[in-house]
Amino acid sequence: MGFRDQPRHSGIFLDFDGTISDIAPTPGGAVLHPRAAEILPRLARHYPLCILSGRRAADVASLVGLPRIHYVGVHGMEWLEGDEPRLDPEVLPYLPALDRARAEIREVLPGLPGVNLEDKVASLTLHFREAPRSEEQAVRLAEGLALRLGLRARRGRRSVEIRPPVEIDKGTVIIRLARGWKLRRALFAGDDLTDVDGFRGLRYLMREGGFEGVAVAVLSGETPVELEAVADLTVQGPEGLIDLLTGLLLD
Ligand SMILES: [Mg+2]
């Protein structure tokens, strides 16, 4: 038995940036890959389909712009109910600390040219893709704030994120949804460090038994070795992933 035999019990979980979109110089420049726009609605007719991003849930929903897809944002800390964003209740006690971090970042940001702040409410991401020379300062700033305010700093690709110290990540989301949707198997594809959490979620479900997980690393010139090392399959960029997903189409 496989995905195509039991589509209702076979989940497809996908990261967005670098996975079903090509990496853009700025977060605002990313667009859904045109071939993904063609096949995702066809997959969503048969398979439970979730886009699981570090972006805000409404942001990734508007970038993908397709119905019948479950959108989860900020690495699992936010999701959409209808069009309304909902924060995980575990995050709420940390909002005042995030407010303080946001205010301090805004004060020092003019001294870090080319570094952009992406405010995701439940977390704050400093992007330095366009300012590699500011990387060290941006990371030091994030780590300092996190330590002082009881938050956590986490590296991503050309970015660093300040987030609450709660055990919510792409893996815990996959575990929760796989149970809720009564999945017997799931595929998760991602390209970055936070996607390793998703792979870990699949492994956890497999250890429980009766579950088949497929961890797909989407490779680029910037793939973290940690991701590739723990993947079941690797594909070359969004094109390679879309080729793989095309094999799951039922009509
Ligand atoms: Mg990504």
Residue 83 has pLDDT above 90, yes or no: no
> Of 163, 186, 208, which marks where a domain is finished?
163
Classify residue 1: in a domain, yes or no: no
Q: Among 57-61, 126-130, 227-231, where is mean pLDDT lowest?
A: 126-130
- The average pLDDT across 151-179 equals 95
Name the residues around ion ligand 1, CB cutoff 5 A: 15, 17-18, 191-192
Using the mean position of ligand 1's atoms as its centre, give its distance from the Cα of residue 189 in Å: 9
Band (137; pLDDT cuts 50, 70, 90): very high
Catalytic site includes residue 191: no
Residue 81 has pLDDT above 90, yes or no: no
Which are the contacts of 218, defined by CB distance < 8 A and separation ≥ 6?
Answer: 15, 18, 19, 189, 190, 191, 234, 235, 237, 238, 240, 241
Classify residue 199: in a domain, yes or no: yes
Report the CATH number that the domain containing residue 43 is assigned in CATH: 3.40.50.1000
Report the CATH number that the domain containing residue 102 is assigned in CATH: 3.30.70.1020
Share of the chain above pLDDT 70, in %: 100
> Of 110, 128, 163, which marks where a domain is finished?
163
